[in-house]
Amino acid sequence: MSSSFGRLFRVTTFGESHGPGVGAVIDGCPPGLPLDEEVIQRDLDRRRPGQSSLTTARQEADRVEILSGVEGGRTLGTPIALLVRNQDQRPGDYADLAAAPRPSHADFTVEQKYGLRPASGGGRSSARETVGRVAAGAVAARWLQAVCGVEVVAWVEQVATLGPAQVDPATLTRLQVDAHATRCPDPRLADAMSEAIAAAQADGDSVGGVIGAVCRGAPSGWGEPVFDKLEAMLAHAMLSLPATKGFEIGSGFGGAALRGSVHNDAFVARDGGGLGTATNRSGGVQGGISNGEPITFRVAFKPPATIARPQRTAGYDGTEVDLIGKGRHDPCVLPRAVPIVEAMAALVLADLALIQRARR
Amino acid sequence: MSSSFGRLFRVTTFGESHGPGVGAVIDGCPPGLPLDEEVIQRDLDRRRPGQSSLTTARQEADRVEILSGVEGGRTLGTPIALLVRNQDQRPGDYADLAAAPRPSHADFTVEQKYGLRPASGGGRSSARETVGRVAAGAVAARWLQAVCGVEVVAWVEQVATLGPAQVDPATLTRLQVDAHATRCPDPRLADAMSEAIAAAQADGDSVGGVIGAVCRGAPSGWGEPVFDKLEAMLAHAMLSLPATKGFEIGSGFGGAALRGSVHNDAFVARDGGGLGTATNRSGGVQGGISNGEPITFRVAFKPPATIARPQRTAGYDGTEVDLIGKGRHDPCVLPRAVPIVEAMAALVLADLALIQRARR
Amino acid sequence: MSSSFGRLFRVTTFGESHGPGVGAVIDGCPPGLPLDEEVIQRDLDRRRPGQSSLTTARQEADRVEILSGVEGGRTLGTPIALLVRNQDQRPGDYADLAAAPRPSHADFTVEQKYGLRPASGGGRSSARETVGRVAAGAVAARWLQAVCGVEVVAWVEQVATLGPAQVDPATLTRLQVDAHATRCPDPRLADAMSEAIAAAQADGDSVGGVIGAVCRGAPSGWGEPVFDKLEAMLAHAMLSLPATKGFEIGSGFGGAALRGSVHNDAFVARDGGGLGTATNRSGGVQGGISNGEPITFRVAFKPPATIARPQRTAGYDGTEVDLIGKGRHDPCVLPRAVPIVEAMAALVLADLALIQRARR
Amino acid sequence: MSSSFGRLFRVTTFGESHGPGVGAVIDGCPPGLPLDEEVIQRDLDRRRPGQSSLTTARQEADRVEILSGVEGGRTLGTPIALLVRNQDQRPGDYADLAAAPRPSHADFTVEQKYGLRPASGGGRSSARETVGRVAAGAVAARWLQAVCGVEVVAWVEQVATLGPAQVDPATLTRLQVDAHATRCPDPRLADAMSEAIAAAQADGDSVGGVIGAVCRGAPSGWGEPVFDKLEAMLAHAMLSLPATKGFEIGSGFGGAALRGSVHNDAFVARDGGGLGTATNRSGGVQGGISNGEPITFRVAFKPPATIARPQRTAGYDGTEVDLIGKGRHDPCVLPRAVPIVEAMAALVLADLALIQRARR
């Protein structure tokens, strides 16, 4: 509890980084959607460790197998179970964890909550848990694109103190984002970000950053007041990701400093009929319901807790120790977080789209 | 869908600002808790309009009636239904809404979603919907205090560009917060905030701001990985509030700029046994589970969309109009948002506490 | 937990028989449905005590008030809160309950579960709790009729050993059912049933029976394999009613004795296209999904536990006592159970209809 | 939707009989429970086809693999994913299904609901779907036994017109049930049942029957009024099984014929303290809450729809055909239904036990 997310398009993830495998079961994907393993593999490859020198050295092919719910290349409307077997397990790397919990990692809280210490330390807190999210999100994204014409694009907006990246959310593509190893599509910043990550790694340290994201093509009417507003579901989804510390929709914290006369988005007649807004400080959402404008949001990621430098901290017994991180961890999760953020956004939107379809 | 929140401590709210009343049903409150209407009324009075010159002129006594679930001054363990009747309804104020949706309000999206235009414009998007939340949150807070020794305190940290307030989250009390009409406990800022709100009102305008909050006394072990992490549930709860644009836990967006060696919270032996952390950039949460430190978070509120100044915008038919806001609305929601944020935090914590109790 | 039922058309009931009132909140009723208090009152009047000499002498006008979710005679798509105030409370009737739990009543189990003894004994186990179900079911039935052309009709099929009633489920109307105080539409049995109930009452005793029901007009495709099959949801709904002991769909327990070649429902071409079945032992459901035939089911009710005759039983302290029932209770719940069974069936169907609408 | 069942002990099943495999994910199993594949395999072997001449000739080793949630022989408190690969697939057996839906099978309704025809006809309606239930139920049963001292035993009570079996629910063991291939522990009936099944098979026909079950050792206090009463959850669980047509708790339909003075279960002082009941017509449940007595219930199964004899029925296009069943199907599902009923009962009880633990 609780490894499930969503109501009508519902995903349940499973798996430890040091067990046989990780995966997801999607319940509620509509029938008849063209789907095969390649659609899912594409997004898993974007999340996969070992893509570049910026990411962890852990090598995982991360090949997905569809266990159910698809026949003859189309979804049946039944649960779609997805399995990715683990390959490069080295539990020995975690032997030192027996004595002291890693600072700002989940070792301590997992032990407090469950009364045990998994071999991997934080158990399901591992970034590897997101494999199931990305696999499921790929299916949601497929449905959104095929049936609703909706696409989600995320990018690296800030690394350490470098940012924000300047991008045009109206036109940015995943191809443009993936063109640079950092997944920052602003050419003025991307190389500096690479260098900042490399410098941190050289120092045995880590850096955080911010992901920006946009959902384009969503019609008005998605989002369920009052508790399941679109931005509430997005915030829930994003803050459920490992290492996230903040979420903003539209103008976010910056909007809090403005006056209403400046912040309000005036309506304008759209070409082709209907109303749009002249500005989009609302981030595509008003009263928790999409208004037809691009949905824009940002997610803050802290620097990874596992670092190679010695850290002075207390062991489980209270005695001070100098802890040195082992294991293979990213000095910066931002580049790999891009497909993960996209996946969670797709899961939110697919679910809210289905709920709205039931209504009218 | 969906006006319910929580799993084991579950609240369902109901009511329109221009109908007979608003309220909530709480399902899952444990039996035997001392409870009467005064406990709830106290928080409703803190949320009530008309408390000071800073808030809307709408007059509502907001007297709560307990309809069920309490007998002889104690909860029965059955649903607790709470009703607050509306008194000061003036639907005529909204007659102009027939022609044009108010910018950045929910008039347009509600019409798009439900295919109709409620008399009040945005229907359940009204701040009045939060009456039910505050009433239910008062019950959750009562249980948290009586059974778990947990308390939640929120305060106004920023109004417009004024802030952040300097407070000591370890000791701050609701009494201190309520001492000033702004609910900003930083004496260097409170008066300036009052003036900024008054100035905006004089201009027929509105201002936004930021609420800070702390939950003290929560033990380690609350929060359900992977999708219902403590910070994910808080983010969901806060972004479900009207006018919110952002959420941060602990270091938040600022933490994204730091290196891991700086950001990590080293463990230290606690007096009396167990481990604490020397710093609290984690905001009391690691891996989605509380670690026993104070849980700290911030919520950004945009300036209210309804302003008295004319706004150039488009009517439903696409023709441009100058819209002038009527109705009675706060120039700044921050002071009244304090008990609302506290209520939602209490609902999240009570729910996660019960779920963890089931486990061990 | 748990006073809510349904996913997309979701009802939450509240209220004790000896508190201020009982009611329900419906979340998820689609917008634009014509609705007023009279539609709901009609079904409440059919459930109301004191309708005839066959029912409890408790006098309750049971007037419903719509607190939210309806404006100008149409649903808003927001939560519909319904309140019925209690009037004829006589908690003194229950004073004897302090010493001994009533046999086969919920006094003992409620005390064991919640650690307290409500003034009314069984708390929410009271038949009065069904007021909220009937009110909510009336709204569901309204939607089913207006949007889907579906109607639900239940009737008394057996009282004590009298039955089964012979009826034509294809044509039976609520008017025909209500024509006799027993709500048994078989003229050969109805008077004998009245007499059996009166005889039991004269003996200070009670009798049970069976309700039959049919849902007509449901299209094929409703019901959610594998756990929320149509018959599973109906069984859940019916066994959640006070005093129920059994549920059958279609051929039921009798079908267990047949061979497959006899039991199978052969398909036949329907006039106007599509397939129907020549027989309907399936009860309108195959594989948990409606097949377009009438949905037929039966529900067994035990005799009411509260009887006027002295019963030898043990007090809370284990000593034997002769317990004599007070309070005002029906000698037979069957006549009043008819609208309650109809209400629960309507709630199940409305929910499954909405879920299927989301899919295609 | 919806392949999940339960709230705190929640199982999600997946898999088609003609795809790569079937399985389940359990979310919410408490941490620290000793568990390995053998515990699960034992129950799967009892469900497995090909155990005796009474069951389908389909050969499946049904070896389970634990993919997650268990480390060092103990549960982690994280999702437990269980996979059983399919081996003996013969989709060619179903080629004839293209023209006509099998009577009383799910071919037609699945096509109506999802708009497609899976190779296997009824998709998830296959009895093979219950593999995931049995695997998950084995884990629930393990927890119930280890932590609560609860055990569930089911048996074949009736086959065709033979029955009811005479058993002592207070002492019956699974070993006694499994001693005969029919799983009927009444020696006066078991052989006759075997013969009845063999006779039906020889005729190319099938027979139905009734399963009886008892849950022993459950304390008072389990079950959640008002909608999730213990008997309501059991009824939901049982009617979600393929081929079920009825459910009874305690006295069931027979109880409907009795008077209250006969039906009521008088309380008696228990040796060792507390109250029990002298009789158990309530079936261990009063007001939806367990009372500490054995929980007894019965489930009716129809004869399998697939038979070898030709059946006159209509094709999808409405023309009449003589359909002859192929595939490998049980002439009677009762013997194999025993572990399936036990599994579902265990899932219900584990869930309700956890919910009650949260309360007190």
Q: pLDDT per residue over C163-176, tens digit each?
A: 999 999 999 999 99
Please write down the HEC assignment for all residues of C151-165.
Answer: EEEEEEEEECCECCC
Contacts of B306 (CB under 8 A, 6+ apart): A260, B102, B105, B206, B325, B327, B329
| Confidence at residue B91, expressed as pLDDT on a 0 to 100 scale | 53
Mean pLDDT of C292-299: 98
Put simply, the answer to whether A208 touches B318 (Cβ < 8 Å) is: no
Interface test with B, best of A102, A117, A211, A239 (most B CBs within 10 A): A239
Our CA angle for A51, A92, B264, nearest 5°, is 70
Q: Is A80 an 8 Å CB contact of chain D?
A: yes
pLDDT tens for C333-355 read 999 999 999 999 999 999 999 99
What six digits make up the tokens of B95? 């007659």
Cα dihedral across residues A232, A238, A241, A247: positive or negative: negative
Instruction: Note the pLDDT of residue C98.
Output: 74
Residue D212 pLDDT > 90: yes
- Phi/psi-derived region of residue A273, left when phi > 0, alpha when psi is between -120 and 50, beta in every other case: left
Mark which residues 312-341 of B lie under 8 Å from A by CB.
312-314, 316, 318-319
CA B53 vs CA A76, B86, B161, C171, C269: distances in Å: 60, 21, 21, 66, 74
Taking the C-alpha atoms of residue B33 and residue B209, their distance in angstroms, rounded to an integer, is 36
C-beta neighbour count of C315 within 10 angstroms: 16
Which of C113, C203, C231 is the best mutation test for D, with the most CBs of D within 10 A? C113
The two structure tokens encoding residue B129: 């919907």
Instruction: Classify A82 as helix, strand or coil.
Output: strand
Nearest-Cα distance to chain A for C130, in Å, is 27
Min CA distance, B202 vs chain C (Å)? 35
CB-count burial class (<10 Å; 0-12, 13-18, 19+) for A204: middle
Cis peptide before D2 (omega within 30 of 0): yes
Selected for mutation to probe chain A from B10, B261, B321, B355 (highest A CB count within 10 Å) is B261
Question: Which amino acid is present at A192?
Answer: A
Q: Is the N-terminal amide bond of D294 cis, ω within 30° of 0?
A: no
- B64: number of Cβ within 10 Å: 24
Residue listed under structure tokens 């959750």 = B140
DSSP 3-state assignment of A170?
A: coil
At C11-40, the pLDDT tens digits run 999 999 989 999 999 999 999 999 999 999
Provide φ and ψ at B158, rounded to 5°: -150, 140
Chain C positions in Cβ-Cβ contact with residue B25 (cut-off 8 Å): 3, 12, 14, 25
Query: Do the Cβ atoms of C257 and D160 come within 8 Å?
Result: yes
- What is the reported pLDDT for C91? 54
What does each of the 360 residues of chain A score in pLDDT, given as a tens digit?
A: 599 999 999 999 999 998 999 999 999 999 999 999 999 999 999 998 777 777 666 667 899 999 999 999 999 999 999 999 998 665 555 556 678 999 999 999 999 999 998 887 667 888 899 999 999 999 999 999 999 999 999 999 999 999 999 999 999 999 999 999 999 999 999 999 999 999 999 999 999 999 999 999 999 999 999 999 999 999 999 999 999 999 999 999 999 999 999 999 999 999 989 999 999 999 999 999 999 999 999 999 999 999 999 999 999 999 999 998 776 678 999 999 999 999 999 999 999 999 999 987
Write the CA distances from D137 to B106, D5, D339, integer angstroms: 47, 11, 9
Return the closest-CA partner of residue A47 out of A127, A141, A151.
Answer: A127
Q: How many CA atoms lie within 13 A of D157 on its CB side?
A: 22
Question: Best of A116, A220, A267 to disrupt the B interface by mutation (most B CBs within 10 Å)?
Answer: A267
Identify the residue whose tokens are 């008394």: C156
Measured distance CA(C353)–CA(C224) in Å, rounded: 10
Half-sphere exposure at residue B352, Cβ-oriented, CA atoms within 13 angstroms: 29
Picking from A273, A122, A280, A127, the residue whose alpha carbon sits closest to that of residue A215 is A280
Spatial CA neighbour of C232 closest among C297, C167, C179, C281 = C297
Whether residue A210 contacts residue A299, with contact meaning beta carbons closer than 8 Å, is answered with: yes
Nearest to D40 by CA among D109, D116, D150, D143: D143
- Rounded distance between C-alpha atoms, residue C347 and residue C230, angstroms: 12
Put simply, the answer to whether A16 touches D78 (Cβ < 8 Å) is yes
Q: What is the β-pairing status of strands A4-5 and A10-15?
A: antiparallel
What pLDDT is stored for residue B126 in this prediction? Answer: 83
SS3 at position A308: coil
Question: What is the predicted pLDDT for the residue at C61?
Answer: 85
Burial class (CB in 10 A: 0-12, 13-18, 19+), A248: buried
Calculate how close chain A gets to B218, using CA atoms only, in Å.
13
Contacts (Cβ under 8 Å, ≥6 apart) of B5: A227, B11, B12, B237, B240, B347
Percent of chain D with pLDDT strictly greater than 90: 85
Chain C residue closest in CA terms to A358:
C358
- Chain C residue whose CA is closest to B10: C1
Mutate to test the interface with A, among D22, D86, D116, D125 (most CBs of A within 10 A): D116
Q: Which amino acid is present at A68?
A: S
Give the distance from residue D142's alpha carbon to the nearest chain C alpha carbon, in angstroms. Answer: 22
For chain C, the residue count is: 360
CA distances in angstroms from D152 to A144, A306, B119, D149, D345, listed in the order given: 45, 47, 57, 10, 7
Residues C67, B114: C-beta atoms closer than 8 Å: no
Q: C244-249 and D244-249: which strand pairing?
A: antiparallel
CA distances from C80 to A106, B13, B122, C144 (A): 43, 10, 16, 16
Across the interface, do D21 and A68 touch by the CB < 8 Å criterion? yes
CA dihedral of A249, A250, A255, A259, whole degrees rounded to 10: -130
Neighbours of chain D (3+ CB pairs under 8 A): A, B, C
**Chain D touched by A117 (CB under 8 Å):** no
Question: Tokens 């009931």, residue?
Answer: C13
Which among C7, C31, C359 has the least Cβ separation from residue A77?
Answer: C359
DSSP-derived 3-state class of residue A153: strand
What one-character DSSP code corresponds to residue D303? Answer: P
Please state the rounded mean pLDDT for residues D132-154. 98
C7 touches chain A (CB under 8 A): yes
Residues with Cβ < 8 Å from D272, sequence gap 6 or more? none
Task: Note the pLDDT of residue B59.
Answer: 67
8 Å CB contact between B63 and B73: no
CA atoms within 13 A on the CB side of A158: 21
**Residue in B105, B273, B281 closest to A286 by CB:** B105
- Give the DSSP H or E segment for C83: strand C80-85
The phi and psi torsions of D295 (rounded to 5 degrees) equal -90, 115
Considering only alpha carbons, which residue of chain D is nearest residue C270?
D318
Which of A8, A78, A225 shows the shortest C-beta gap to C358?
Answer: A8
The pLDDT value given to residue C55 = 66
Contacts of A10 in chain D (CB under 8 A): 1, 4
Q: How far apart are CA C253 and CA D210, in angstroms?
A: 8
In the prediction, which pLDDT does D223 show? 98
Q: Which residues of chain B does D30 touch, with a Cβ-Cβ cutoff of 8 Å?
A: 359-360
Average pLDDT over residues D356-360: 87
Residue D58 has pLDDT above 70, yes or no: no
Q: How many CA atoms lie within 13 A of A217 on its CB side?
A: 15
> Percent helix, strand, coil in chain C (nearest 5)?
30, 25, 45
Taking one residue from B and the other from C, the number of pairs with CB-CB distance under 8 angstroms is 142
Query: Residue-wise pLDDT tens for chain B (360 aa)?
Result: 699 999 999 999 999 988 999 999 999 999 999 999 999 999 999 998 777 777 666 667 899 999 999 999 999 999 999 999 998 665 555 556 678 999 999 999 999 999 998 887 667 888 899 999 999 999 999 999 999 999 999 999 999 999 999 999 999 999 999 999 999 999 999 999 999 999 999 999 999 999 999 999 999 999 999 999 999 999 999 999 999 999 999 999 999 999 999 999 999 999 989 999 999 999 999 999 999 999 999 999 999 999 999 999 999 999 999 998 776 678 999 999 999 999 999 999 999 999 999 987
Chain A hits for D32, Cβ within 8 Å: 114-116
Q: Is the pTM of this model over 0.90?
A: yes
Cα–Cα nearest to A155, from A197, A211, A110, A210:
A211
CB distance C235 to C247 below 8 Å? yes
Contact C158 D257 (CB under 8 A): yes
Q: Which residues pair with C12 in a beta bridge?
A: C4, C25
Is ipTM strictly over 0.95? yes
What residue ranges do the domains of chain B occupy? Answer: 4-359
Q: What are phi and psi of A355, to 5 degrees?
A: -65, -40
Which one-letter amino acid corresponds to residue D62? Answer: D
Question: Which chains, if any, share at least 3 CB pairs under 8 A with chain C?
Answer: A, B, D
Under 8 Å between Cβ of C105 and C303: no
Q: Which of A84, A72, A60, A83 is nearest to A36 (CA)?
A: A72
pLDDT (tens digit, 9 = 90+) per residue, D74-95? Answer: 999 999 999 999 986 655 555 5
Cβ atoms of B155 and B341 closer than 8 Å: no
* CA–CA gap between residue C31 and residue C29 (Å, rounded): 7
On whether any CB of chain B is under 8 Å from the CB of A212, the answer is no
Give the pLDDT of residue C99. Answer: 85
The pLDDT of D337-347, averaged and rounded, is 98
Neighbouring-strand partners of residue B311: B323
Give the mean pLDDT of chain D: 93
Nearest CA to CA, how far is D223 from chain B (Å)? 13
* Mean pLDDT confidence for D235-263: 98
- Taking the CA of residue D353 and the nearest CA in chain B, the distance in Å comes to 9
Per the DSSP assignment, residues forming a β-bridge with C295 are C215
Residue type, B191: D
Rounded to a whole number of angstroms, the distance between the first and last alpha carbons of chain D is: 33
CATH code for B4-359?
3.60.150.10
**pLDDT level of residue C115 (50, 70, 90 thresholds):** very high
Cα D44 to Cα A79, D30, D37: the distances in Å are 21, 22, 10
Please state the separation of Cα A187 from the chain's center in Å: 23
CA D147 to chain CA mean position, Å: 23
D81 to chain A, closest Cα gap in Å: 7
Whether C20 and B74 lie within 8 Å, measured CB to CB = no
pLDDT at D127: 86
Determine the straight-line distance between the first and last CA of chain C, rounded to whole angstroms: 33
